[in-house]
Structure 1
Amino acid sequence: MPAQENTTLKTEYADKVRADLERNRSEQERIRAEIETLQAQLATLESDHALLESMSAALGDETAAAVPAPRRGRKTAGTTPAKKTTVTKTAAAARKTAVTKTAAKKSAAKTAVQKPADTVPPLTDLIHQHLSGQSEPRTAREIATALAETHPTRNISDNLVRTTTERLVARSRVERAKQGSTVYYTAIKTETAPGPAEETTAAAS
C-alpha cells in the first residue's frame, strides 16, 4: 500500500474516532439531562406523597398509609358516615390529580427519550455548506473561526477542520489552492458536474 494512501486511511479513521467521541459526549449530555428530569419528577412525586400522607393524618384516616386507596364499607373509629364520605372524596380527588400529573410527566419523558440522539450534522457537511456560501476561498483557520461562532457548543479546532476539509478534497467536494505557504479551500458546486447523459454525449462526439 502506498504511503500516501496509508496516511489518508489513518486520517479518515482518526476523523471517525473524533466524530464518534463527539457523538458519545452529546449522548452522555442528553442522558444526564433526562436523568435530572426524572429525578425532579421523582422529587415531586415524593413531595406529593408526603402531602397526601399529611392530609390523611390530619383527616384522621389511619388506613391510608397501609392501602393504596380507601376501602369501601370499612368504618373508621370516631368518624360519622358523612365525614367518611368527605374524606373518601378528598383523598380520591387528590389521588386522581397525582395520577394525572404522573401520567403527563411520564408522557413528556417518553417523548424526550424518543427524540433522535444524533441530530448534530457531520462536520464535513458544515464545512461544505459554509464554503458553498462564500464568494472567495477560505483557509482552515477562517473556516474554524466561522463554525465556532455559529456552533459554540461543538469542539471545533483548526487542525480538525483542516483534516476534515482535506477529506472533502479527496472526495472532490472541495478544491484546494496553495498560495505561498497558505492553503485556501473552495467548495465545488455539485450541480455543475456533468451527468451521465452529458458524459455519454461528449464521448460520442
Structure 2
Amino acid sequence: MPDTAVTSIQQKYQRQYAADLESNRSEQKDIERQIATLEETLGRLRADEKWLADQVELVPTHPETTAVPRAEDGAPAPVRPEETSVPEPRQEAHSATVPKKTAKKAAKKAAKKAAEKAAEKAPAKKTTATATVTERAAKPVAKKAATVKTTGKGAEPPLGDLLLRVLATNPVEPRTAAEVVTGLEKAFPERARDINTVRNTLERLVAKSRVERTKQGSTVYYTVPQQSGAGTQEADTTPAGEESETVAAQV
C-alpha cells in the first residue's frame, strides 16, 4: 500500500507539471505572435511616417486671404478712399536693385494717389483738369523711378546668391530644400528663411539654369552645376520672400 500511494502522488504531480509546462509554452507562443504583430505594425507606421514627411515638403503653401470687413447687417462694409490709398514709396540708401516693372507700378500708384488727393481738395468743376495735370506731371517721375538703382556699400546680397553659396560648399552632394534651409541658418543666420521661401527661390534658380534639380522617388534634390560656381553667378533680383523695398521718387 505505501508503494502504491507514493506512485499515485508522483503521477499526480507529473500530470500537474506537464499541464503547467504546456500552459507555459502556449503562453510563450501567444506572446511571440503578439510581438511579431506589433513589430509589423511599427514597421508600417515608420514607412508611413517617411512617406508623409516627403509629402509635406512637396505641398505648396497658400498665403492667407485677407478678411473682408462686414457691416452690421452682414453685407460687405464700404471701403473708404483713405483705407485703399497706396502708401508713398520710400527711398532707402541700402535697398536692393529695383526691377523696372516694379518701379513703374510704384510710380503709377504714387501718381494715382496724388490725383485722388488733388481731386478731393479741388472744386468739382476742376477735378478733371487737376487729374490730367497730375498724370502728365507723373509721367517723367515714372520714367525716372524705373531707372533708379541703389549702389550703397551696405546692400545685402539677394537670397538666391546666398543659396548658391550654401550649395557650393559641397557642389557634388545633392541637397533637399530642408537641408539647404539648415545650411542657410548656419552660414547666414540673419538671413534665415522658411522652407517654402527657400524652395520657391531654388525653383527660380532651376528655371534660370543656375541650379540643377533631380528627383529620387518623392524626394527632390538640388545641386550647383559643375561648370559654374556660386561666386560667378549674377545677382538674383527676383523677390522671393526677400525684404526688397520698392524705390521711387517722391511725387
Give the number of the structure with larger relative contact order, counting CA–CA contacts within 8 Å between residues 6 or more apart.
2
TM-score range, shorter chain: 0.3 to 0.5
**TM-score by structure 1 length?**
0.36
Larger helix proportion of the pair: 1
**TM-score by structure 2 length?**
0.29
